[in-house]
Chain A
Amino acid sequence: MATNFQPKNGIEVGIGNGSKALGTLHAAGDTWNFLQVMDYSIQAASAPIDIAPNKSGLFGQLESQGHHRPDTQMYEVTLTMRGTTTAVLKSCLSLFGSGTSEASLTPAANTNDNSSNKMSHGGTNVNAVTLLFENAGADATNLDVSMVGCFATSMTMRQDVGSNGGEMVVETSFVTGYRPVQSAYAAPSSKVLDTGAPKNIFSLATSTLGGEALILNSWDITISRPLARIGFQNTTDYNPFGYVQTGPYEVTGTLVAKRDDEIHDLDASIAGNSTGIILALAESSGFTIDCQDVMIDDSKPEMGDYLLQSIPFRAFAASETAEIIGITIA
């Protein structure tokens, strides 16, 4: 009888990054950022079952009808982190290839291999990361779980006056087509601990939409994209040939603001005049979110102790080279 067990709080999450052949584990000597992860999900090697059709006249399923399909598997994990500069920039890196400030998303953004138009197994890629869950291995000696070839498919930044002391939270989902591995990973030779202070809604000096100054109760912005794996190379480890992005980046979010005269002045945009307006959220320095062309999506009043206005929106680029969202953070 095994006696080992796994306390959830005993697991530390690291992100290995830097140029690497896609599908290759970042080594102990590579850059390992250990972010302020508050919550996480993990994955283990697994495979769904496809069931072949039943023979007429039988009312039970035969073993021969079951087929494991590891070749279709995309492993997804989500990290919930305190909203520091590093948390934002590492998320932007593996989501749209922008790992330094200003992180700028344009319609031309991608996470392709270096100087390439695709994400292919073995290609040198600076955007793919390795996720390491220290002490998450189920085995008594294979202590860690590592996931190689991870790209982000979505990140959400949010702030709320009513939770987390107003601190920004970053929630990022990563996917990989490579099987998670349980092993005794050689500890990163240098852990870069994230000791930065999270951004805070109470530090916002600017929160305007269409030039109207809003008193925000909360806001969130999500950047997302779809990724699919390309088949499998062999029946040993079922590594994919690579990935393809099957749709555009989408930038959506919601502002929840005190319903007041400024909301009234936004009436034309709320009613739908098909004209993009500027969203600006900024601290006096060190943090700016700039969306030059957002359209309000079905805004409604919201009931609370006093009236609020919920303002869902979607951000666009004004041209093929224009910015959809720019995040300046330091």
Chain B
Amino acid sequence: MKYKAKESYKKLSDDKNYYAYGDSDKHNRLMTGQVIKITEVPKELKSHLESAESKKESK
């Protein structure tokens, strides 16, 4: 699934954002507003990310 960061993600400290999950690349891309593919979103990050699937793709 494709996701992008909500504003709340950008305010998370490094021990709570994607750095804490061993993925600096996802963190860096989310911070620049990019859409990324995530196989399984960590439970603690779900409320800070939003789906970026187009309606056509998600059907």
Contacts and interface: CB of A to CB of B under 8 A. Distances in A.
B34 interface: yes
Interface in B1-56: 14-15, 18-26, 28-29, 34, 36-40
A102 B37 contact: yes
Tell me the dominant secondary structure on chain A's binding face: loop
Contact of B29 (A99, A100, A108): A108
A243 to B, nearest CB: 15
A104 B25 contact: yes
Given A93-B23, A98-B25, A111-B24, A328 B39 contact: yes
Nearest to B14: A114
Interface residues of B, number: 19
Among A18, A19, A100, A110, residue most surrounded by chain B Cβ atoms (within 10 Å)? A100
A110 B25 CA distance: 7
Interface string A236-272: 0000000000000000000000000000000000000
Nearest to A96: B25
B50 to A, nearest CB: 17
A19 B18 CA distance: 11
Given A102-B37, A114-B14, A321-B34, A17 B22 contact: yes
A126 B19 contact: yes
A115 B29 CA distance: 11
B37 A326 contact: yes
Interface in A109-167: 109-112, 114-115, 124, 126-127
Interface residues of A, number: 28
Contact of A100 (B14, B15, B23, B34): B23
Contacts of B36: 102, 104
A128 B24 CA distance: 11
Nearest to A115: B14
B40 A101 contact: yes
A98 B19 contact: no
A97 B40 contact: no
A127 B24 contact: yes
A326 B19 CA distance: 19
Nearest to B39: A101
Interface string A294-330: 0000000000000000000000000001000010111
B37 A97 contact: no
Contacts of A321: 34
B37 A98 contact: no
B19 A100 contact: no
Nearest to A19: B19
B25 A109 contact: yes
A258 B40 CA distance: 36
Contacts of B40: 100-101, 330
A101 B41 CA distance: 9
Contact of B24 (A97, A102, A328, A330): A97
Contacts of B21: 99-100
A106 to B, nearest CB: 8
Interface of B: 14-15, 18-26, 28-29, 34, 36-40
Interface of A: 17-19, 93, 96-102, 104, 106, 108-112, 114-115, 124, 126-127, 321, 326, 328-330
7 contacts: A93-B22, A97-B23, A97-B24, A99-B22, A104-B25, A108-B29, A114-B19
Given A108-B28, A110-B28, 15 more contacts: A18-B22, A97-B25, A97-B28, A98-B26, A100-B18, A100-B22, A100-B26, A100-B39, A104-B25, A104-B37, A106-B29, A110-B24, A124-B14, A126-B19, A127-B24
